[in-house]
Amino acid sequence: MPVITYECVSYKKVLMNTILVPTDYSEAAGNALHYAGELAMLTNATILLFHAYPLPMPAGDMPITMVSPAELETENKIRIRKSGKEIIERTAGKINVEYRVRPGNITEAITSAAKLKKADLIVMGIKGESKLSRVLIGSNTVSVMNRTKIPVLAIPDGCKYKKAGKMVLAFDYNDTIPKDLLATLKGFIHLFKSELLVLNIVPPEDVPLFDNAIAGLMLENSLKDIKHTLFFPEGKDVIKEINSFVELHHADWLVMLPHKHKFLSTLFHPSNTRQMAFHTHVPLLSLYD
């Protein structure tokens, strides 16, 4: 195994000028909007409320009455402003809300709008039962996470806003975090004045190596300017262990690095649906370099 080195990286100041919140007018989307509203008040950000809708396509030879694109746009403009009015009233007019509706593929529309509007964070709702696999596999939220470099915060249905005092980063110490990504992560820690708990699940059969210790020390050094603790409990079921850790330590957010998480391929694989036991009461922050 190659020796892993971490530079002493300063944190990148995370600006919250614009928070993009996609909505489909569902309860889960409304809950995510309420959460984003609290973040906007905390950071003085503008909320960009966004809705993408598919255009109706005729099927077969049967004549049907179709709603025109202009009618669809008008209807969605009315609905999205109604949602915006609710969050403005909920926050006593303390936040600014902008609106955008457009036709097209949902994932593509969200990622394009976020890039065009230079969003600093995308806040999306997730809905389903209490198993992450049933909620996230194939969902628009995961699709967006995998296709944008803008941070994505997924809010479970029913999750109420709470200060992100503790963030758990589930990570393999023997991997490296790119410098820019590490700076962004530390920027979120500074922004919310959080404590970082870095979690590495170690398979029981693994034999500790000198290189493992070196990797841990290097990561420790890179995080010396923020409040943090490193954990490396043993466990065979990574998902179960992360879930237990989050609950045991009363964590507020879980942080994921999609391109670095070896367990994500397992987490999001449909064939493993029955094995999932990852409760969705904790918001998931996805950071992609």
| 41 or 140, higher pLDDT | 41
Contact 122, 235 (CB under 8 A): no
Strands 152-156 and 121-126: parallel
Residue 54 pLDDT: 82
92 contact partners, CB below 8 Å, separation of at least 6: none
Q: Give the tokens for residue 13.
A: 């100041």
pTM score of the predicted model: 0.85
Where is pLDDT greater, at 39 or 238? Answer: 39
Q: Label residue 278 by pLDDT band (50, 70, 90).
A: very low
Tens of pLDDT, residues 109-124: 999 999 999 999 999 9
Q: What percentage of the chain carries pLDDT values higher than 90?
A: 44
- pLDDT tens digits for range 237-261: 777 788 889 999 999 999 988 765 5
Whether 57 has a pLDDT exceeding 70, the answer reads no
Query: 152: which 2 tokens?
Result: 């994505």
- 158-162, 195-199, 263-267, range with greatest mean pLDDT: 195-199
Query: What b/e sequence results for 160-186 when a residue is b if at least 16 CB atoms lie within 10 Å of its CB, and e otherwise?
Result: ebeebebbbbbbbbbebbeeebbbbbb
**Average pLDDT over the chain, rounded to whole?**
81
Range 270-286 burial, b when 16+ CB lie within 10 A, else e: eeeeeebebebebbbbb
pLDDT digits (tens, 9 = 90+) for 212-231: 667 777 788 888 889 999 88
- pLDDT of 103 > 80? The answer is yes
Positive or negative torsion for Cα 84, 90, 91, 94: positive
Q: Please name which of 264, 262, 289 lies closest in space to residue 276, comparing C-alpha atoms.
A: 264
Distance CA 46, CA 95 (A): 7
Q: Of 43, 38, 56, 50, nearest to 14 (Cα)?
A: 43
Give the domains, in start order, of the chain with CATH numbers: 18-57+69-156 (3.40.50.620), 166-286 (3.40.50.620)
pLDDT, tens only, 86-96: 999 999 999 99
Highest mean pLDDT among 43-52, 61-70, 170-179: 43-52
**DSSP per-residue letters across 249-261:** TT-SEEEE-TTT-
| pLDDT at position 187 | 92
Quick one: what percent of the chain has pLDDT higher than 70?
A: 76
Residues 106-160 pLDDT 10s: 999 999 999 999 999 999 988 754 444 444 444 788 788 888 999 999 998 888 9
Q: Element (H or E) spanning 168, and its range?
A: strand 166-170
**CB crowding 1-21: b at 16 or more within 10 Å, else e:** eeebebeebebbebebebbbb
User: Which is more confidently placed, 53 or 131?
Assistant: 53
Tokens for 239?
């998902």
- Pairing state between β 166-170 and 195-199: parallel
